[in-house]
Amino acid sequence: MQTIYEIFKTAFLNHEFAYIFLISSLVFLIPAVFIRCKGIKLTSFILFSVFFTIALFEFLLSFFLPYPVTDFHKDYLKDADKNKIFALKHKRFVDKSDNDRIEEYYYLKDEYDNYLQTKPRLSLVYDIRYTVYPNYFRYTQCKSDSDNNYIFLGCSFVFGVGLKDTETLTYNFSKLMSFKSNVLNCGVAGQSTTTALNILNNDIIRKFVKKDSAYSHFFITLLMIISLEILK
């Protein structure tokens, strides 16, 4: 039976977003109390109420909900072997009859191309081969036995969906490092922070670095993704 302290430590302190929302609400509370302009006071009070409510829900839910597990590409939690790589084909099509409809196919064997040729209504957008590990982390040319490790976490921006192996973010970073460091691409298409957290919690990275070497260089694309969405 967990004590109140243990529950507080494991449930609340591991959910830093509750702090973020709480601090945000306090930022709006100050003008709501001290500014005399009714319009600004009302707006600040509404924003304070919204952020405080979100913080409260985040706090309460943290006691009942564990870290979520991502189903997509769940194999990244197993079969991690840096000594094995294979080619994964990815074809993306747009439906000629409905330009808003996109179809994608990931497959290993070239024979599947014959099946795709039976769908004339589909127009090819790109045809790419990814070099990946058995757990679907994308391979990056680097010095895998280096003591200097750079870990990239994130979504399709990191994985490099639609890009050749020599066009990804991690490849270009490894190139800047003269391919003398271990650069690991942990990007998972369609996923982001939750998947990154699962990867870290399950210590998958340890299987891709030299034994007893430290890894202290981490990159995640969250801010870049937010910026891109705003620019759209």
218 and 138 inside one domain: yes
Residue 164 included in any domain: yes
Tokens representing residue 184 in the block: 């690991």
Query: How many domains is the chain partitioned into structurally?
Result: 2
According to the 3-state scheme, what is the secondary structure of the chain? CCCHHHHHHHHHCCCCHHHHHHHHHHHHHHHHHHCCCHHHHHHHHHHHHHHHHHHHHHHHHCCCCCCCCCCCCHHHHCCCCCCCCEEEEEEEEEECCEEEEEEEEEECCCCHHHHHCCCCCEEEEEEEEEEECCCCCECCCCCCCCCCEEEEEECHHHHCCCCCCCCCHHHHHHHHCCCCCEEEEEECCCCCHHHHHHHHHCCHHHHHCCCCCCCCEEEECHHHHHHHHHHC
Residue 100 included in any domain: no
192 and 227 inside one domain: yes
Residue 98 included in any domain: no
Residue 128 included in any domain: no
Q: Which of 10-24, 68-82, 209-223 has the lowest mean pLDDT?
A: 68-82
55 and 80 inside one domain: no
The pTM of the full predicted model, rounded to 2 decimals, is: 0.64
Which residues lie below 8 Å from residue 130, measured CB to CB, with a gap of 6+?
87, 88, 89, 90, 138, 160, 165
Q: Which of 56-65, 85-94, 156-165 has the lowest mean pLDDT?
A: 56-65
165 and 221 inside one domain: yes
Give pLDDT, residue 204.
85
**pLDDT one-digit tens code per residue, 53-71:** 988 887 777 666 655 555 5
Residue 82 confidence (pLDDT) above 50? yes
Q: Which of 80-84, 113-117, 145-149, 164-168 has the lowest mean pLDDT?
A: 113-117
43 and 78 inside one domain: no
178 and 81 inside one domain: yes
Residue 231 confidence (pLDDT) above 50? no
219 and 148 inside one domain: yes
Give pLDDT, residue 184.
93
138 and 180 inside one domain: yes
Residue 105 included in any domain: no
150 and 217 inside one domain: yes
**pLDDT one-digit tens code per residue, 96-133:** 777 777 888 888 877 778 777 777 788 888 889 999 99
Q: Name the residue range of residue 23's domain.
A: 4-61
